[in-house]
Amino acid sequence: MQNGSMRRLRLFVLILSLIWQAASAGLAAEYRLTNGDVLKGEAASFNDDGLIVRLDLGGFSQRVGWGRLTQEALKELAKDARATRFVEPFIEIPPEVKHKEKAKKKEIVLRPVPRVERPAGKPKFFASLITPPGLMVLIVLFLANLYAGYEVAQYRNRPVAVVCGLSVLAPVLGPILFLSLPGAAEAPSPDQQSLAEAQAAAAEILSDPLSNQSAAVPAQGGLGLAAAAKFVKSEPTITEGAAYKRGDHTFNRRFFETKFPGFFRVVPSEAEKDLVIVVKAVKQEYVAKRISRISSNEMHLQLQRGGGAEVSVSFGEIVEVQIRRQDAKA
């Protein structure tokens, strides 16, 4: 019985060895190298540097670089999923295949796309103004036209409502029209009129008090003389050689009316008859005998020379104001 068991065991081992040899023979392959050598066996290891073959004779070969294998060997290894990603970069593609692939890449297929229908005919100018951008442009131009009319009205001393209204009815032309017209003289206020009357009365009384007092009293009454005397007392004295510079003073209508009231008289008093007011502007210097007119933005000077010609000077251009004698040199 034991001999029979031993025989069956040996027979089983023999069958297994035969099966193993047959399987090994089926898995074994030949890997030809570019130098003519042939490696027979089973591929055991793959990496970026090459492969290692388990030889049929036993043992393992050294790692063989991918560049040393022939194209047939590389194509055979490409069938193995483990070696595909390492082998593909070394497999040469035939020129015909490359040409076909390039032709496929160059071929561009155009597909129809939806397009917005364009309006028939050319767009008209007035139709474009109804669009939102056109309306925005019109609003900006309208506001700019009103602002221009307002600035022109201030500069030329014209009624703001009249200038702006005409600018709405006649855009662009309205501001240009008022800008080309001379500025309107500003009407004196009631306080200024009474002040001028008091100045004239005071000048008459001071020049000849005996002859004018009787005429002044019936016409003006006690209040006229009191106002004139009060004005004479409160009027500031104009000092020869006084200088007023921009930065220390603000040059505007109030400044000239309060500092130099004597230069507004048609007939200068004894204190101002030998004095002149020198206005130094940015570009020119003006020597004037009196201030003929004044507004909120500019004043008009009657020059000492040139036959008493009148010039206008803007407050923004004035740099310095001086008081000196007529015969004094600059």
Q: Say yes or no: 196 and 175 in one domain.
A: no
**118 is a domain residue:** no
Q: Is the pLDDT of residue 260 over 60?
A: yes
- Phi and psi, residue 325, nearest 5°: -75, 160
Query: Please, what's the largest Cα pairwise distance for the chain?
Result: 180
- Whether residue 32 contacts residue 69, with contact meaning beta carbons closer than 8 Å, is answered with yes
**210 is a domain residue:** yes
Domain hosting 284: range is 243-325
**271 is a domain residue:** yes
177: number of Cβ within 10 Å? 14
**108 is a domain residue:** no
Q: Please tell me the total count of domains within the chain.
A: 4
294: confidence class by pLDDT, cuts 50, 70, 90:
very high
Strands 310-314 vs 243-245: parallel, antiparallel or unpaired: unpaired
What is the spatial distance between Cα 127 and Cα 227, in angstroms, rounded to a whole number?
Answer: 69
Give the residue-averaged pLDDT of 99-115.
76
Give the domain-ending residue among 30, 63, 90.
90
> According to the model, what pLDDT value does residue 299 have?
92
> According to the model, what pLDDT value does residue 25 have?
44
- pLDDT tens digit sequence for 147-202: 998 998 888 888 888 888 888 888 888 888 888 887 665 555 555 556 666 666 65
Q: Say yes or no: 9 and 46 in one domain.
A: yes
- pLDDT tens digit sequence for 20-73: 554 444 456 787 888 888 888 788 788 888 888 888 777 888 888 888 888 888
**330 is a domain residue:** no
Give the residue-averaged pLDDT of 8-13.
72
- pLDDT tens digit sequence for 232-255: 445 566 777 788 998 888 999 999
CATH code at 313?
A: 2.30.30
- Whether residue 296 contacts residue 306, with contact meaning beta carbons closer than 8 Å, is answered with no
Q: Say yes or no: 229 and 252 in one domain.
A: no
Q: Say yes or no: 199 and 167 in one domain.
A: no
110: confidence class by pLDDT, cuts 50, 70, 90:
confident
Q: Say yes or no: 271 and 230 in one domain.
A: no
> According to the model, what pLDDT value does residue 253 have?
92
- pLDDT tens digit sequence for 122-142: 667 667 777 788 788 888 988
Percent of the chain with pLDDT over 70: 71
**39 is a domain residue:** yes
**313 is a domain residue:** yes
> Tokens standing for 86?
């390492």
> What DSSP character marks residue 67?
G
Q: Is the pLDDT of residue 231 over 80?
A: no
Query: Which residues is 42 bridged to in the sheet?
Result: 54
> According to the model, what pLDDT value does residue 244 have?
92
Give the residue-averaged pLDDT of 256-285.
85
Rg of the chain in Å (alpha carbons): 57
Q: Is the pLDDT of residue 229 over 50?
A: no
Ranges 10-19, 21-30, 300-309: which has the least confidence: 21-30
**173 is a domain residue:** yes
Contacts of 32 (CB under 8 A, 6+ apart): 38, 39, 69, 70, 72, 73
Give the residue-averaged pLDDT of 269-288.
85
> According to the model, what pLDDT value does residue 284 have?
87
Q: Say yes or no: 60 and 139 in one domain.
A: no
Give the residue-averaged pLDDT of 99-124.
74
